[in-house]
Amino acid sequence: MIDAVKAAGGFHVYLAPGTDGRFGAVLAELGLEGTALGDAEAIATPAVIVLAPGEAAPEGLEDIAIRPPADAPPAALRELLRVALQNSVLKLDVRQLEEQARRQHRQFEELNRIGIALSAERDIDKLQEFILTTMRQLTNADGASLWLKTVDDDVPKLFLASSQNFSIDNTYQAFKVPVDEKSVVGYTVTMGTSQIYDDAYNPPPGKPQGGRGFDAQYGYRTKSMLTVPMRNYNNEVVGAVQLINAKRRFDVKLTVDTVEQEVVSFRPEDLEMIESIASQAAVAIDNKTLLDSIQALFDGFVQASVTAIEQRDPTTAGHSGRVERLTSGLAHAVTEVAVGKYRDVRLTEEQFKELRYACLLHDFGKVGVREHILIKAKKLVPGQLEVIQARFEFVQRSVQVKYATEKLEAIRSDNANLEQLLEIDRRLEEDLRQLRLWFDAIASANEPTVLPEDKASMLEVLSRQTYVDMSGREHPMLDPQEFRFLSIRKGTLDEQERLEMESHVTHSFHFLSKIPWTPIMRGIPEIAYGHHEKLDGTGYPRGLTDPQIPIQTKMMTISDIYDALTAQDRPYKRAVPLERALDILHEEANAGKLDKELLDIFATRRIFDLTAVR
Ligand SMILES: [Fe+2]
Ligand SMILES: [Fe+2]
């Protein structure tokens, strides 16, 4: 063993003062030379320190020190030294193994940490930035770039997804290279193997040069280079990561002049670690891309659903989108207020997304409401007023015929006088006037405004009037359904129709409950379910009260009412001006129906500007 050490030329024997004389011959016999023990810092291992009996070892070096007895014969000294040297070599081996184990453990921990961070990052740009920064830190690299495979007119290419350079700012530019053997990244992806270059300008035989284009553009010198393919879970190469210029010190900025002294080669042990991170990164990017496409798919589906609802009732086109913009705007404003009941309300990104979907789909249940109710613009259903009008014309003719007959009979009789005939004309006029009054009352009652008292009582009287048809059968002037519709006090829907209209909320809830939302989105059905509830319990369908209604829903309700009032495109309902709409909302809030504080934020922060027509 000593021979082996001697041959390696690395063995040191340090002699404390007063011991050298006794060891010269023994050392020579072993083919070693003693060095006088000096500064403890200068001690090179493997080594043995020979001390006089009782002498203290330099700090931290006790385990390689020996103290031979003063009277030990040369043979014993030789044996002692031999064992000590063997021990020293073994201890060094152990230390190296321990160091290696520690390093591997650190690497393992580091890879674990990176793996967790990679799978947690949702933002693709940040994800790529994190990958490059971590790789640079682990290898002391000055620059790094991430290339992803894409297809351009059926030709596979690599595009530069992200890049960093510690010494130069803003080196990123959208850039593509073909997947071929002419560029280092192209070569790496084509071969599917990692490439270590000591000098990018002098690549190993048969491999492409690197860095020259970049260097010419930025006044840089690319020297050492490590390029690693990225493989996804199918083991397909989906891109590459390139690290350039490993440095002695991480925080040194390079110039063309300092490259030679500061830049070193990438170490072979870097390779395995970077390859491992590159593959984790590939999987993370793949996952993220997959998630993005699922998200896009779902957004498309939601958009299509919204279009489906709004196409059934073109007069509400854009309503869901506007409610979404208003509610999101209000929610952001609420998270910014520092005083009041809601000063501590903070919504996460996920909660904002949840709220957006709830708003977009809040009225989706209208697909379950029959169309004639959904778009009912007057109290009577279409065609009904025309039927009444025809009936009135018939009655008018009948009245005219009746008085004409009466007149004829009077003329035929002997005692007819002018006064009598004029009296018949007056009664005819009176009856026709009454018919016109009634019909006007019907036409105005048909409008979706609040029904005035006098019109209501006139309808009441009319409903008891009858007329006789051609075959002599008696009919009411207004049938029960016509009377019921025309007697609607407010809006255009009777009790039954109103219930069907209101059922859209329950339909929305049932529909939304059928979607297997991710856990962070599971609040959507409940948020949408409450959008017609009022804080005082007068809303529908459940008559919830303030504490039972989520704040998200309270915000949506304000936006929903505001948009319903101000919507420009409803032919049967004039849009209410902004000021009046806010007044109506404030009246509702003062009556304890809407959340006052949220409405104040809505008004003072001018959330309504978000949907103002420009
Ligand atoms: Fe609704
Ligand atoms: Fe709505």
Domain membership flag for residue 456 = yes
Residue 363 alpha carbon to ligand 2 centre in Å: 5
Report the pLDDT averaged over residues 256-265: 93
Question: How many Cβ atoms from other residues are within 10 Å of residue 420's Cβ?
Answer: 14
Domain membership flag for residue 307 = no
Least distant ligand from the CA of 509: 1
Q: How far apart are CA 350 and CA 337, in angstroms?
A: 20
Comparing 591 with 278, the larger pLDDT belongs to 591
Q: Is pLDDT at 122 greater than 80 in this prediction? A: no
Domain membership flag for residue 478 = yes
Least distant ligand from the CA of 360: 2
Encode burial over 77-105: b for 16+ CB neighbours within 10 A, e otherwise. bbebbeebbeebbeeeeeeeeeeeeeeee
Residue 383 alpha carbon to ligand 2 centre in Å: 28
Residue 3: the pLDDT is 44
Comparing 8 with 169, the larger pLDDT belongs to 169
At 612, the pLDDT band (50, 70, 90 cuts) reads confident
Residue 295 alpha carbon to ligand 1 centre in Å: 25
280 and 335 share one domain: no
Instruction: Report the mean per-residue pLDDT for the chain.
Output: 89
Residue 525: the pLDDT is 97
Residue 349 alpha carbon to ligand 1 centre in Å: 25
205 and 285 share one domain: yes
Q: How far apart are CA 482 and CA 384, in angstroms?
A: 8
Strand locations in 343-468, DSSP E?
A: 466-468
Least distant ligand from the CA of 369: 1
Residue 505 alpha carbon to ligand 1 centre in Å: 6
276 and 230 share one domain: yes
Which token pair is 514? 């059928």
Residue 5: the pLDDT is 43
User: What dihedral do alpha carbons 421, 422, 424, 426 form, nearest 10°?
Assistant: 170
Residue 296 alpha carbon to ligand 1 centre in Å: 26
Residue 571: the pLDDT is 58
Task: Say which range, 395-404, 410-419, 521-530, 546-555, has the weakest mean pLDDT.
Answer: 410-419
Residue 46 alpha carbon to ligand 2 centre in Å: 82
Q: Is pLDDT at 366 greater than 70 in this prediction? A: yes
The reported pTM is 0.65
Residue with tokens 């506007």: 322
Residue 452 alpha carbon to ligand 2 centre in Å: 28
Residue 20: the pLDDT is 60
Residue 569 alpha carbon to ligand 2 centre in Å: 15
Domain closes at, from 423, 458, 492: 492
331 and 447 share one domain: no
449 and 323 share one domain: no
Domain membership flag for residue 463 = yes
Q: Is pLDDT at 452 greater than 90 in this prediction? A: no
177 and 245 share one domain: yes
Q: Is pLDDT at 126 greater than 70 in this prediction? A: yes
Residue 373 alpha carbon to ligand 1 centre in Å: 14
Cα separations in angstroms, 381 against 209, 443, 497: 80, 13, 11
Which token pair is 394? 């018939």
Least distant ligand from the CA of 560: 2
Residue 9: the pLDDT is 52
Q: Is pLDDT at 1 greater than 60 in this prediction? A: no
Residue 562 alpha carbon to ligand 2 centre in Å: 10
Least distant ligand from the CA of 506: 1
364 and 510 share one domain: yes
Residue 495 alpha carbon to ligand 2 centre in Å: 20
365 and 456 share one domain: no
Residue 556 alpha carbon to ligand 1 centre in Å: 10
Residue 363 alpha carbon to ligand 1 centre in Å: 5
Residue 140: the pLDDT is 92
Domain membership flag for residue 481 = yes
Least distant ligand from the CA of 504: 1
Domain membership flag for residue 285 = yes
Q: Is pLDDT at 580 greater than 80 in this prediction? A: yes
134 and 232 share one domain: yes
Q: Is pLDDT at 8 greater than 60 in this prediction? A: no
Q: Is pLDDT at 109 greater than 90 in this prediction? A: no
Domain membership flag for residue 9 = yes
Residue 40: the pLDDT is 77
Task: Say which range, 78-87, 182-191, 587-596, has the weakest mean pLDDT.
Answer: 78-87
Residue 3 alpha carbon to ligand 2 centre in Å: 91
Least distant ligand from the CA of 505: 1
Q: How far apart are CA 334 and CA 551, in angstroms?
A: 10
Which token pair is 231? 């493989």
Domain membership flag for residue 452 = yes
Q: Answer whether the bond into residue 541 is a cis peptide, omega within 30°.
A: yes
Burial class, 367, CB count within 10 angstroms (exposed 0-12 / middle 13-18 / buried 19+): middle
Residue 103 alpha carbon to ligand 1 centre in Å: 62
Residue 558 alpha carbon to ligand 1 centre in Å: 12
DSSP string, 550-591: -HHHHHHHHHHHHHHHH-S--TTSPPPPHHHHHHHHHHHHHT
Q: Is pLDDT at 443 greater than 70 in this prediction? A: yes
426 and 324 share one domain: no
Comparing 508 with 279, the larger pLDDT belongs to 508
352 and 424 share one domain: no
Residue 287: the pLDDT is 84
Residue 286 alpha carbon to ligand 1 centre in Å: 39
403 and 269 share one domain: no
Which token pair is 174? 């959208």
Residue 593 alpha carbon to ligand 1 centre in Å: 16
Which token pair is 241? 């990561």
Count of structural domains within the chain: 4
Residues paired with 155 in a beta bridge: 152
Encode burial over 147-169: b for 16+ CB neighbours within 10 A, e otherwise. bbbeeeeeeebbebbbbbbbbbe
Q: Which domain holds residue 49?
A: 2-98
Provide the CA 161 distance to its chain's centre, in angstroms.
21
Residue 508 alpha carbon to ligand 2 centre in Å: 11
Residue 384 alpha carbon to ligand 2 centre in Å: 28
Encode burial over 378-405: b for 16+ CB neighbours within 10 A, e otherwise. bbbbeebbeebeebbeebeeebeeebee
CATH, residue 269: 3.30.450.40
Q: Is pLDDT at 519 greater than 60 in this prediction? A: yes
DSSP string, 284-303: HHHHHHHHHHHHHHHHHHHH
Q: Is pLDDT at 266 greater than 90 in this prediction? A: yes
Q: Is pLDDT at 486 greater than 50 in this prediction? A: yes
Which token pair is 456? 């209501």
Residue 611 alpha carbon to ligand 1 centre in Å: 18
Residue 147 alpha carbon to ligand 1 centre in Å: 48
Residue 370 alpha carbon to ligand 2 centre in Å: 17
Amino acid at 234: N
Segment 303-310 long-range contacts (CB within 8 Å, at least 24 positions apart): 303/360, 305/360, 305/361, 305/364, 306/360, 306/361, 306/364, 308/367, 309/363, 309/364, 309/366, 309/367
Report the pLDDT averaged over residues 428-450: 91
Q: Answer whether the bond into residue 53 is a cis peptide, omega within 30°.
A: no
